Structure 1
């Protein structure tokens, strides 16, 4: 393996890595716009040159062999070095190339999307691709170069950059409160209804200063997406608490009112960008992270 990069085609190595990351020939071929037979030939060439079986193939799945796992680690390193060299060679030029971003739906809609035109105007050669999910993803498996996450990060080997913090606000529409009564104290919230998040459940728990126990508000409806919860609250279904970036404009426009801002007790939520060590040297990633950080300032 020591001089594998001198023996093998970079395209074959990239094909092998892609097949493993995509979980099979068909999906990898679809993502790359090539035929599965082309990828199969690449793997066959690697196996013939290395004289080992890299993958066990069935009609429905693939399984990487122990030898394949060893080759995979080396192949990733070689491909990473190659991309780093390309970055160095073009260091005098504007950052360019594809950058795949994964972020929660509300963050994309309320923070990124309104400002992406600015980023594109500044770095027109960077081709951003944005996937939206509200769950933690595997960066390799999801083909993401960087993932934006809210809350405490799990222990991992991934690098991360803090992007700021977002506070919580408990809100409802004025019309809803006109119909059901404006609460004078947090305890009065129990006479209203709450639009709840399916997960994580702690968002639905309402703690207030001076109260030993959280206030329990009867549920009106539950949704598994933060933006759906927001739309339900705007539609007059009940109260809910949100990260401030989600409802800041709604409050300014008078569509929502904040309830008990000085009494609601909820730790601000950290916003972080996670990325893999193997892409940490890419200039296009660096300028994107710098831009993200400036959004929160």
Structure 2
């Protein structure tokens, strides 16, 4: 009779598969690759099957490995849920990995995350900042913050609120180029544009039948770079409210024709995996996120 695998060994196996190899999993787990390799070998001996085909450049799951991966994830999810259930009498605790766009982390989360920390000191937050849409499993994320219309997905989700748009320019730029009084005036201005997503560059005003297209001053691949170019007087740009409202309040930029943009606000949504849905630390974090909006 084979000895049953331990949950810790199953967690190592899942980590090696999801990270694409022993070296990357070892770096994330803070262990030696040889230790992880011995763990997987031990699993193979216990089960009497080959789980991974190892080459010098990659690993490949065998059919038995794919079957164990599916079962191991279910076991780990249930183990995590049991741990959470056992701690119901205590404050929520444990790690929570959050994936979110760079501007949202810098301008909405980071300035206020200490509030959450004070309320829940035993929850360990890890922030992954990226402007790319990532797979939650590949990113090892418990929850991801997304803006706009969601693609079709099996992921669970919770709407947190919405983000309004602001069209702004610096006082220095407006002193040089003139302040627009009507949508047509924007054709004489220069715009700092986002390379992606390009829809942020669209300027459609109420009462207009087509987009207004100012001259292009510069392109930038990062929202924070666009913001700094606008602060530096390069031109106009459109931002989400959470990203620019502090600059407006401080007088670093001026909002242009408030309320004139004919562009609906963006929904802000939290996506999470089924395995995380019952975790109290995720639930209280999502409740807190809603207060931001």
Q: 2:82 aligns with which of 82, 85, 93?
A: 85
Deviations 1:237-268 (A, max 9, x none): 00000111111111111111111223211110
- Give me the TM-score of the superposition, normalised by structure 1: 0.96
> How much does 1:59 deviate?
0.7
The answer to whether 1:263 aligns with 2:260 is yes
The answer to whether 1:28 aligns with 2:47 is no
Counterpart of 2:118? 121
> How much does 1:190 deviate?
1.1
Runs of 4+ in 1 over 6 A off after TM superposition: none
Counterpart of 1:246? 243
> How much does 1:66 deviate?
1.8
Q: 1:280 aligns with which of 277, 282, 293?
A: 277
Q: 1:149 aligns with which of 146, 158, 175?
A: 146
The answer to whether 1:171 aligns with 2:168 is yes
Counterpart of 1:41? 38
Counterpart of 2:132? 135
5+ residue gaps, structure 2, are none
Deviations 1:32-80 (A, max 9, x none): 1111111111111111222221111101111111221111010001111
Q: 1:18 aligns with which of 2, 12, 15?
A: 15
5+ residue gaps, structure 1, are none
Q: Distance in 2 between matches of 1:73 and 1:215?
A: 51
Q: What SS does structure 2 have at the residue aligned with 1:219?
A: strand
Q: Distance in 1 between matches of 2:87 and 2:55?
A: 42
Q: What SS does structure 2 have at the residue aligned with 1:110?
A: helix
Check whether the contact 2:181–2:257 (CA below 8 A) recurs between aligned residues.
Answer: no
Deviations 1:5-45 (A, max 9, x none): x7111111011000011110000011111111111111111
Q: What SS does structure 2 have at the residue aligned with 1:11?
A: helix
> How much does 1:184 deviate?
2.2
The answer to whether 1:96 aligns with 2:93 is yes
Q: Distance in 2 between matches of 1:169 and 1:284?
A: 33
Q: Distance in 2 between matches of 1:130 and 1:210?
A: 42
Q: Distance in 1 between matches of 2:57 and 2:178?
A: 59
Q: Distance in 2 between matches of 1:185 and 1:292?
A: 37
Check whether the contact 2:191–2:237 (CA below 8 A) recurs between aligned residues.
Answer: yes
RMSD of aligned alpha carbons? 1.4
Counterpart of 1:222? 219
Q: Distance in 1 between matches of 2:246 and 2:259?
A: 20
Number of matched pairs: 293
Q: 2:231 aligns with which of 231, 234, 255?
A: 234
Q: 1:191 aligns with which of 183, 188, 196?
A: 188
Q: Distance in 1 between matches of 2:87 and 2:270?
A: 25
> How much does 1:123 deviate?
0.6
Q: Distance in 2 between matches of 1:254 and 1:282?
A: 42
Q: What SS does structure 2 have at the residue aligned with 1:264?
A: coil
